[in-house]
Structure 1
Amino acid sequence: MMNEKEKLKLFETFRKESIDLLEESKVNKETFLTNNLTFLDKLNLKPFTTINTLNEALYNYHYYNLSAKKSNLEAQKVIHNAKKKKIYVKCINQRENFYHLKDMATLRLLEILEYKNIDSYYIILKSNRLKGEIFEIHIKNMDKAILHSKSKLILENLKTHGVFIEEERQSLIDSYVNKTY
């Protein structure tokens, strides 16, 4: 049986390999999400209550981001079913809670990094609803560490630390963020 540290190392390897598959168009966004959710389920590593390392923060970010996307997919399945309105509302509330927890992991990651080696900016999106809301955080000295948020608190912290660029840019993972599923 693997300990927490071994599971975290396995996650790091899987995360990079699954991102490579997505970048090489060997899997689509939906398959990427499904594979990641399946992996996390099998890994059986709960999110860290106290984040002490960059890898723990990245794990929590990934865990909560995937959980939010899963809740959103479940909500979309019942959105037009009036009899399942309570299920829809529950899924949307879960999604928002998971995104909040993801943002807390992002804040902790930024604190650990002391806001160094970071580029951040709004990203160009096809979605008019999210335009000017979602920004990207590129951790330059970590492999495949590209985070997204629309948290006003994170945005203010990035600006305060002088690492937010006031211009809209194409996401480093544009084909992923602008692909619906």
Structure 2
Amino acid sequence: MTVERLPPGALARLARTRSAPGDHAALRDGAHSLRLVLLKSLLTRLERHPGAVPRPARERFEEHWRLLERTEARDRRPVRDTLDYPSVGHWLARTLAAPDGDALAGALGHFGAVVAAAALRASGSFTLETATPGGVLVLPGAGLAETGTDTVRLTAHGRTARLTAAGRRAGPVLLRVPGRVCGVAPAGAR
């Protein structure tokens, strides 16, 4: 929903904190539309300027983008919920403002965690390798896991997803129920 389609008087009511039914939904729809525009702007930037980041960073982004598209085709709600999470909007704005080169490549690294959070909520099977800056995987709306390494492989099947850091034995297992990640089990759990 666009600002032009807000219910009559919605902005005035929201400013006074006395909203009517439908005002908050219209505001959420507008915020979600903005997130989609920002995400599409990021994709367009990388398509128009392929040298903006080193090839490995671009290829990883494209791989993550394809998983996001497959996840959305299967179930839109988890993708929407993840994209609407506050930290995702902050990440998008920061990434779009980053200069080409290492700064942009570093910011793009967080996209894998955004995609992983959406795919985990959608309960599909997937394998994804993503950056874990500072040894921490931050999954918007789901939590974080200390990995102790700069990258991690996330392999999801059925009700579980396993984190495996490069050069290490299998790591913790994330337990999933449709629509959310509900906890972490020891590495030996199934």
Normalised by the length of structure 1, the TM-score is 0.32
Question: In proportion to residue count, which structure has more strand?
Answer: 2
Higher RCO (C-alpha under 8 Å, 6+ residues apart): 1
Structure (1 or 2) with the larger CA radius of gyration: 2
